[in-house]
Amino acid sequence: MKIVALYISPGHNFFGHHGREADENPTLPVGEVECVAGHGLKGDRFFDYKPGYAGQVSFFAQEVHERLCSHFQLGAVPTSAYRRNVVTQGCDLNELIGREFEVQGVKFFGYSECKPCYWMDGAVTPGAESWLRGNGGLRARILSNGLLRREVGP
């Protein structure tokens, strides 16, 4: 699995905002991020959210993003629109649900699909929520400390 983008955000825009307007916390691209076992990503909104929280880090596949953009004939939609932390290439994230896995020396447990919600229709494009069902990404727990780095090049 290759890491093509990394994001953190200091606050929630959609999570916990049902029935209200979305917030406008930025999704910040970073070159590297510190993973803290059992806590999350340093600087991210879910860091120490709840003990044992399953969504300490979220993954999203670049290939899914490209298929969605092609399907909806979208132009330049950044992968930050999904508000997932780690954008990957070359891995079927659904295969990691219920399994331990390692990326760049950091160990994770793939807890569940990061199910898309109705906010995706506004953040990406109308119909995105439905289209992403089954391909919304992966929620994971961090099992070991370490750094993840964005990889450049082919």
Q: Which whole number is the average pLDDT over 111-129?
A: 88
Of 53, 67, 57, 60, the residue nearest 33 (C-alpha): 57
| Residue-level pLDDT at 39 | 96
CB contact at 8 A, 139 and 113: yes
Distance, CA of 126 to CA of 111 (rounded, Å) = 28
pLDDT tens by residue, 79-95: 999 889 999 999 999 99
Distance, CA of 71 to CA of 65 (rounded, Å) = 10
Which pairing describes strands 57-61 and 86-89: parallel, antiparallel, or unpaired?
Answer: parallel
For 81, residues 6+ apart whose C-beta sits below 8 A from its C-beta are 27, 123, 124
Strand segments, DSSP code E, in the chain are: 2-8, 28-29, 32-36, 40-41, 57-61, 86-89, 100-103, 106-113, 138-142, 146-149
Residue 13 has pLDDT above 60, yes or no: no
| Residue-level pLDDT at 16 | 56
| Residue-level pLDDT at 14 | 58
Residue 55 has pLDDT above 70, yes or no: yes
Is the CATH number 2.40.33.20 carried by domain 2-149? yes
| Residue-level pLDDT at 93 | 98
Chain-centroid distance, C-alpha 105: 19
Q: Which whole number is the average pLDDT over 32-49?
A: 95
CB contact at 8 A, 88 and 63: no
Work out the mean pLDDT of the chain and round it to a whole number: 90
Confidence of residue 23 (pLDDT cuts 50, 70, 90): low
Residue 24 has pLDDT above 80, yes or no: no
Residue 54 has pLDDT above 90, yes or no: no
Q: Which whole number is the average pLDDT over 31-40?
A: 97
| Residue-level pLDDT at 76 | 83
Confidence of residue 15 (pLDDT cuts 50, 70, 90): low
